[in-house]
Structure 1
Amino acid sequence: MDFATFLIQCLNSLQYGLLLFLVASGLTLIFGIMGVINLAHGSFYMVGAYMAFALTQPIAATFGGGFFSVLVAGTVLAVALGYVLEWAFYSYLYQREHLQQVLMTYGLILVFEEVRSLLVGDDVHGVNPPAILAGALPLGDMMTYPVYRLFISGVCVALALGMYLVFTRTRLGMMIRAGSSNREMVQSLGIDIQFLYRVVFAAGVAIAALAGMVAAPVSSVYPGMGNQVLIICFVVVVIGGIGSIRGALLAALLIGFVDTFGKVLLPSAAGVLVYVLMALILIWKPEGLFKAG
């Protein structure tokens, strides 16, 4: 493997890991802070990807906007969807057993898949990246790297930094962390914990949907795409530590490098390397890399 190829694989690993983090961070927020096993989280990723496909033409025709306008509109719609879902369904799950949470959220997966099939069909669709990001950067004499993939990494880094600042430097972050540790005490201080949970859930849905939107031009849009990403995101959450944002970031990057280089160097064993990594880390630290926070 020459240096240019190695550099490309490193960039691919970084981009894949950061995208995984974007999806898994919303999952670890909902799972770690609200205590809900949300099997439907992958469906929010799928919803984002299909919004990127479905909204491009209407927004371009109505407002003259392009892909970036779709990202803004899709994120707003995802926030609204998350808020309504928490109010209508998830707010009844906090005191329920995990089996009931699994059954309801699995039912939501089936609902989302059926609605998707009725609205846009079962074909595979492509989404074009914005023209300004459609080029490639030269790496060496023979290889190039797509600018859009660098854009994905930049978006993920910006959101990771934003989440870190919100959770560690703002009053909202303090209330969220306190609510995850002692809900009754936070309520006794006069904080509306129900509204706080809806904000957290809506943010988690929006982050997952945004990940689907930015990933759509490189992964295409197809039925069942949310189910595939859900499994690997649970692995990220378990490795990083349930409820830990920084743990999710480190775990996603580790998985990105292991999976990408595994497919290059050990293609016959690539499918199990991520789970071997999870087993080794859990033997070393059964609670994950970091505690919640």
Structure 2
Amino acid sequence: MTAALFFEQLLNGLQFGVTLFLMAAGLTLVFGVMGLINLAHGSLYMVGAFACAAVAAATGSFWLGLVASIVAAAFAGALIEMTVIRRLYNRDHLDQVLATFALILIFSEGCRFIFGSFPLFLDVPAILAGPITLPGGLPYPIYRLSIIVVGGLVALGLYLLIAKTRLGIRIRAGEADREMIAALGVDIRTLYTIVFALGAGLAGFAGALVGALQSVQVGMGEPVLILAFVVIVIGGIGSIKGALIASILVGIVDTLGRVSLPSLFGLFMDPSAANSIGSSLSSMLIYVLMAVVLIFKPEGLVSQNG
């Protein structure tokens, strides 16, 4: 692997990690504050992608589509929190899994009914189309680089929200002792709805950003949901900082593994076998990473208060 290829794949891994963070940040907030296992989080990612594609197609503006993705996913999140999720907080995790799995089916069939079974496509806006030349003469897509920058800004915004605002104080207090802040007069139901809608909006935003890199289709959120759960386990449940670190780590390990392992096995195997074995092992790397982290740090890389 040449230095240029390594640096390009490192950037791809960083971009993948940033999109994972947008997905996992909301999930870890919901899990940490509410103690809720929300399997429908991937469906909110899908809702954001479809909303962006539909609005962009109707208006010709990708930017309006991005706004629509956040609004649609946050509205859908607030709606299901008030109508379904609110009844699950005091139920055991099996009930939460079954109820949110049912929501996956409802959202999938609803999107299929509204938009059809065929995938939709999002065009990258003209200002972000094409490559940019990085130091060293490496061309790299502007859009992917923009995702990295936007993800960093979102991470900074979440940090400021959680650490510096009154809402953030209430969210952190809700993680520590929800009964106590309820006794102090905080409307815990409203707080939960806000947290859930915030997480849903982030998921929808991630879906819209990724939708311009791949097709927008029914079921696109489930594979990302699995990776998001891996991220919050590695990073530490309830920790935004941990989710950011773990997302970047998972993105880089997954991307570099998919590129380097087939080449590595190709040094002493025929190309077809090397590609087959390398691809199979590369898909396992993030789970090996999760196992190693759990062996040495069962609570994750960053504690819940991190």
Higher mean C-alpha deviation, range 227-236 or range 80-89: 80-89
Alignment partner for residue 86 of structure 2, among 86, 91, 115? 91
TM-score normalised by the chain length of structure 1: 0.95
Structure 1 partner of 2:294:
282
Which stretches of structure 1, 4 residues or longer, exceed 3 Å deviation after superposition?
139-143
**Counterpart residue type for residue 111 of structure 1:** I
Taking the aligned partners of 1:94 and 1:181, their CA distance within structure 2 comes to 16
Structure 1 partner of 2:267:
none
Taking the aligned partners of 2:49 and 2:198, their CA distance within structure 1 comes to 17
Contact 2:26 2:200 in 1 (8 A): yes
Structure 2 partner of 1:261:
256
Taking the aligned partners of 1:141 and 1:228, their CA distance within structure 2 comes to 35
Structure 1 partner of 2:43:
43
Taking the aligned partners of 1:281 and 1:179, their CA distance within structure 2 comes to 27
Number of equivalences:
288
Does 2:30 match 1:30? yes
Does 2:110 match 1:109? no
Contact 2:120 2:215 in 1 (8 A): yes
In the alignment, structure 2 segments of 5+ residues that lack a partner are 263-277
Does 2:212 match 1:217? yes
Alignment partner for residue 158 of structure 1, among 153, 163, 180? 153
Q: Deviations over 1:232-285 (max 9, x none)?
A: 110001001111111111111110111011001114111101100000000000
Higher mean C-alpha deviation, range 114-123 or range 140-149: 140-149
TM-score normalised by the chain length of structure 2: 0.91
**Counterpart residue type for residue 83 of structure 2:** A
1:140 Cα shift?
Answer: 7.8
Alignment partner for residue 272 of structure 1, among 281, 284, 301? 284
Taking the aligned partners of 2:134 and 2:191, their CA distance within structure 1 comes to 47
Higher mean C-alpha deviation, range 232-241 or range 72-81: 72-81
Q: Deviations over 1:69-124 (max 9, x none)?
A: 21112212222221111100111111000000000000000001101111111212
Structure 2 partner of 1:20:
20
1:20 Cα shift?
Answer: 0.4
Taking the aligned partners of 1:86 and 1:140, their CA distance within structure 2 comes to 47
Taking the aligned partners of 1:140 and 1:162, their CA distance within structure 2 comes to 28
- SS of corresponding position for 1:101: helix
Structure 2 partner of 1:184:
179
Contact 2:121 2:212 in 1 (8 A): yes
Query: What is the RMSD computed on CA atoms of the aligned residues?
Result: 1.4
**Counterpart residue type for residue 141 of structure 2:** P
Contact 1:152 1:215 in 2 (8 A): no
Does 2:113 match 1:118? yes
Higher mean C-alpha deviation, range 73-82 or range 152-161: 73-82
Taking the aligned partners of 1:59 and 1:76, their CA distance within structure 2 comes to 16
1:196 Cα shift?
Answer: 0.5
Taking the aligned partners of 2:136 and 2:299, their CA distance within structure 1 comes to 46
Alignment partner for residue 80 of structure 1, among 68, 75, 82? 75
Taking the aligned partners of 2:189 and 2:120, their CA distance within structure 1 comes to 38
Q: What is the aligned-residue identity percentage?
A: 50
**Counterpart residue type for residue 298 of structure 2:** P
Taking the aligned partners of 2:284 and 2:51, their CA distance within structure 1 comes to 32
1:139 Cα shift?
Answer: 4.9
Taking the aligned partners of 1:76 and 1:139, their CA distance within structure 2 comes to 34
- SS of corresponding position for 1:266: helix
1:187 Cα shift?
Answer: 1.1
- SS of corresponding position for 2:284: helix
**Counterpart residue type for residue 169 of structure 1:** K
Taking the aligned partners of 2:298 and 2:224, their CA distance within structure 1 comes to 23
Taking the aligned partners of 1:50 and 1:173, their CA distance within structure 2 comes to 30
